[in-house]
């Protein structure tokens, strides 16, 4: 008589168990902060810039806020949620000092190609300039909006005016609110936010992140989408102006807003214990004090990114060391995998990231095994 290996028996038993059990609801928030360097995320404020009056209006005051003797203390001052919560309950990738690398795969190292890569899983060789041109590539958000579980439950809010084109809102058929676009005024809070937006004297192509967050948070509270994208933009906006003080302040603000959103998620019955956060950036910046403010394929450091993951099923491994290299183009398929979906598009899609999964969540282990058997 032929003996079936124990591993096959285990897989079959798990598959049967999953088939007989109701699916666990799963939600995901994708959050980006434009052009925030891995150097600040993992080592905090840069001394060469923090104390440079060419980039900081008051070096003494800024040092009181963000300077300390070690990188560990500096990063905690700058981004306390990242280092008090994600570092203990999630995973952080991209500290190149610890041989953990997250790289941009596209050639150009600017925003449109970066966001295209994040959401489509495809590092398009075509030049995608930072202008309002509809993206022909399929993105993970529109794919999810076409799935029964997520149809009509996908939304995007961004500070940058180009997001409706990157995500091809007209084709994708899910709401994308970006720049100083008004919110639906059937909600009284939105009416107030619109008035605040109208009162901004000098509008540019990047809305204040606080306003983007306020609109997103109100929508999330009122509508409970299962998939939400929030794209912050002022870190890149102020970096391009050479204002390191404002760049740091906005990075700190983003950390604060993510912390507030995580608290809300963990105290709302719809989201509690079944919602994942994926947090990243669209590109790096120059790695030298003379080039930190810019980025492109000509600027060393522009292809260096980072990634944070937090939520159920994610093993609490904190800051990753000596980990396999991750590419930005793997994020789209990873989002799909974490939602037990398989992302298919009109172009090649990179394979998902092999994230360490918590042993306390057998559902994801079984899903991975089922994926291997396909």
Q: Which domain holds residue 195?
A: 27-373
Residue 5 lies in a domain: no
**What pLDDT, on the 0 to 100 scale, is given for residue 187?**
87
Overall average pLDDT of the 257-268 stretch:
98
* 87 pLDDT above the threshold of 50: yes
Average pLDDT in the 323-346 region? Answer: 97
SS3 label, residue 119: helix
Residue 6 within any structural domain of the chain = no
Token code pair at residue 163: 């997001």
Q: Does residue 22 sit within a domain?
A: no
Return the CATH number at 337.
3.40.720.10
**pLDDT (tens digit, 9 = 90+) per residue, 70-86?**
999 999 999 999 999 99
Is 311 inside any structural domain? Answer: yes
The mean per-residue pLDDT over the stretch 252-270 comes to 98
pLDDT in tens, 192-233: 999 999 999 999 999 999 999 999 999 999 999 999 999 999
Quote the pTM value: 0.91
In a domain, 3, yes or no: no
Q: Is the pLDDT of residue 371 over 50?
A: no
- Answer yes or no: is 332 within a domain: yes
| Domain membership flag for residue 57 | yes
Instruction: Pick the range with the lowest mean pLDDT from 41-50, 238-247, 350-359.
Output: 350-359
pLDDT of res. 10: 40
When pLDDT is averaged across residues 154-177 and rounded to a whole number, the result is: 98
Count: domains in the chain: 1
């Amino acid at each position: 008589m032929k003996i079936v290996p124990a591993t096959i028996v285990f897989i079959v038993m798990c598959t049967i168990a999953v088939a007989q059990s109701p699916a666990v609801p799963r939600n995901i928030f994708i959050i980006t902060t434009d052009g925030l360097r891995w150097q600040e995320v993992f080592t905090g404020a840069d001394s060469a810039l923090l104390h440079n009056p060419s980039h900081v209006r008051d070096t003494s005051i800024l040092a009181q806020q963000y300077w300390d003797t070690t990188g560990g203390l500096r990063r905690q001052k700058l981004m306390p949620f990242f280092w008090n919560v994600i570092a203990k309950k999630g995973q952080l990738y991209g500290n190149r000092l610890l041989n953990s690398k997250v790289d941009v795969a596209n050639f150009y190292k600017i925003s449109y190609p970066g966001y295209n890569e994040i959401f489509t899983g495809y590092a398009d060789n075509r030049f995608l300039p930072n202008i309002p041109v509809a993206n022909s590539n399929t993105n993970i958000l529109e794919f999810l909006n076409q799935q029964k579980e997520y149809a009509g439950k996908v939304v995007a809010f961004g500070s940058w005016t180009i997001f409706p084109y990157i995500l091809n809102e007209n084709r994708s058929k899910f709401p994308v609110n970006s720049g100083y676009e008004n919110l639906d005024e059937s909600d009284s809070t939105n009416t107030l936010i619109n008035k605040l937006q109208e009162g901004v004297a000098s509008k540019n192509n990047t809305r204040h992140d606080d306003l983007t967050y306020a609109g997103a948070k109100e929508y999330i509270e009122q509508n409970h989408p299962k998939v939400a994208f929030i794209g912050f933009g002022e870190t890149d906006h102020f970096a391009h102006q050479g204002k390191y003080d404002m760049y740091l302040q906005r990075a700190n603000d983003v950390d604060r807003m993510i912390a507030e959103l995580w608290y809300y998620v963990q105290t709302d019955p719809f989201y509690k214990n079944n919602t994942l956060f994926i947090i990243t950036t669209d590109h790096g910046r120059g790695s030298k004090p003379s080039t930190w403010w810019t980025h492109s394929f000509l600027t060393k450091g522009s292809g260096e990114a980072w990634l944070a993951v937090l939520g159920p099923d994610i093993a609490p491994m904190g800051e990753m060391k000596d980990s396999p290299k991750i590419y930005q183009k793997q994020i789209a398929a990873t989002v799909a995998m974490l939602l037990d979906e398989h992302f298919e598009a009109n172009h090649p899609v990179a394979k998902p990231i092999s994230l360490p999964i918590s042993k306390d969540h057998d559902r994801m282990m079984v899903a991975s095994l089922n994926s291997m058997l396909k």
